[in-house]
Structure 1
Amino acid sequence: MQINNIYCIGRNYKKHALELGNEVPEAPLVFSKPTSALAKADGSRISFPGDRGEIHHELEIVLYVGNKVDEGFTVDDVVTHMALGIDFTLRDVQSKLKKKGHPWLIAKGFRNAAIVTDFWDFPGVEKLKETDFYLQRNGDIVQEGNIQSVIFDFQTLLEYIHQEIGLNEGDIIYTGTPEGVGPIADSDEFALKWGEEIKGTFVVGKN
């Protein structure tokens, strides 16, 4: 499955924005990651920087645009697959960059900063509301979400990205993280769950 652009949405769950002391946005907050940041949650050990301060996990639903995006589209028209992913953030680095008014790319685009499970068929937006998603760290649930809690729904997100940047086949969207983000540690074992089903796992390796 070809991936062209990676778009990410910041602060799309109110409680997450508040837990970091950020204002709740009035419009979608969009940033991107390079495709070199992608890594599969396939059970392997994944390397992360060990000398750049705290690295925080941010669990997200990831949408795959598999159809042509025409004017007047709906999410169900253009999204063909979905996955779970983690937007990793060098939090200390990000905080320093934000204070200086600089872009976040270094804090968000490092190698393995965009974890993703295998994609599966997109069931439609309404069906998604029936299922919660979870992140487990060392067997304990640390994040739990449902799309009914988002600030900007998926239709709003995709329309905004398409209007401001342009959305095309092969693009993926990390749609925001619920509360519960926190630092990772060497040898942490993570599992990404959709309902009761484990969709992906990996082990943290700090170097």
Structure 2
Amino acid sequence: MNIFCVGRNYANHAKELGNALPQQPVLFSKPSRAFVETNGQAISVPQHLGQVHYEIEVVLKIDREVKQGESVWDVVSQIALGLDLTLREVQKELQTKGHPWLRAKGFKHSAIVTPFWDIREQEAYNTEFSLLKNGNLAQKGQIKDMIFNLQTIIDECENCFGLGEGDIIFTGTPEGVGPLHSGDLYQLYWGKEEKGRFTVE
């Protein structure tokens, strides 16, 4: 499994971090050991390295090897919700030095994902996703608000890296990111349906 991610794909999120809007998708990856599936468990994160920020995202699962120009809905039949976790202070330091983001984005448990479920195109574009932190709304968004749509993301990832069965893609986060703390409860919602939850160890 490869884990690909898109950064700065919602305008208001880019603005809240003081970043310019990208002219092409900002792509990065995470190691497979970053992946952890939610089942209501306590998940450990490296808070000793500084603030760890949550970023809720729609996650695509690739069904099979993708050929250039194929429709996203020909190669994606399931999605999930995920949290792309970021060591924010580490990321800022790396950006200042012009270094890659891997240390800030690729640590163990930095790709928290709900179980995947079957999806159809119309539902995907018309459903709001959200993150609750200790019962309070922290983030919400919709796929249709992305700067780069799902087809562009699939095409760009396939062209740059190739895509095959089991690969997953984090598609970007809306505004409202913030730090996790020990004991926090996080719930990930697709519409009114809770798809996953976990606590921070």
Q: Give the drift of 1:164.
A: 1.4
* Distance (whole Å) between structure 2 residues aligned to residue 68 and residue 49 of structure 1: 34
Residue equivalent to 1:181: 177
Matched, 1:60 2:57: yes
Identify the residue that residue 18 of structure 1 maps to in structure 2.
15
Residue of structure 2 in register with 1:91 after alignment: 88
Task: Choose which of 110, 127, 134 in structure 1 pairs with 2:130.
Answer: 134
* Counterpart position of 2:69: 72
SS in 1 for 2:126: coil
Q: Is 1:191 aligned to residue 179 of structure 2? A: no
Match of 1:165 in 2: 161
Query: 1:106-146 CA deviation, whole Å, 9 max, x = no partner?
Result: 1001010000000001212x321211000000000100000
Q: 2:151 aligns with which of 145, 155, 167?
A: 155
Unaligned runs of 5+ in 1: none
CA pair 27-203 structure 1, distance change in 2 beyond 3 A: same
Deviation digits for residues 13-64 of structure 1 (CA, Å, limit 9, x no counterpart): 0000000000100000000000101111110000011211111000000000
Q: Is this contact kept in 2: 1:133–1:145, CA < 8 A?
A: yes
Q: CA deviation at 1:67?
A: 2.5
Aligned to 1:42: 39
Tell me, in whole angstroms, the C-alpha distance in 1 between the residues paired with 2:33 and 2:69: 32
1:101 matched residue in structure 2 = 98
Q: So what's the TM-score if we normalise by structure 1?
A: 0.95
The code of the aligned residue for 1:59 comes to I
SS at 2:154's partner residue? Answer: helix
Q: Distance in 2 between matches of 1:10 and 1:148?
A: 16
**Percent identical:** 50
SS at match of 2:41: strand
**C-alpha separation in 2, matches of 1:20 and 1:104:** 15
Residues in 1 aligned to 2:177 and 2:49: alpha-carbon distance in whole angstroms: 18
Does the Cα contact within 8 Å between 1:67 and 1:80 map onto a contact in 2?
no
Unaligned runs of 5+ in 2: none
Secondary structure in 2 matching 1:129: helix
SS in 1 for 2:40: strand
Deviations along 1:79-104, one digit per CA (max 9) or x if unpaired, are: 12100000000000011111001111
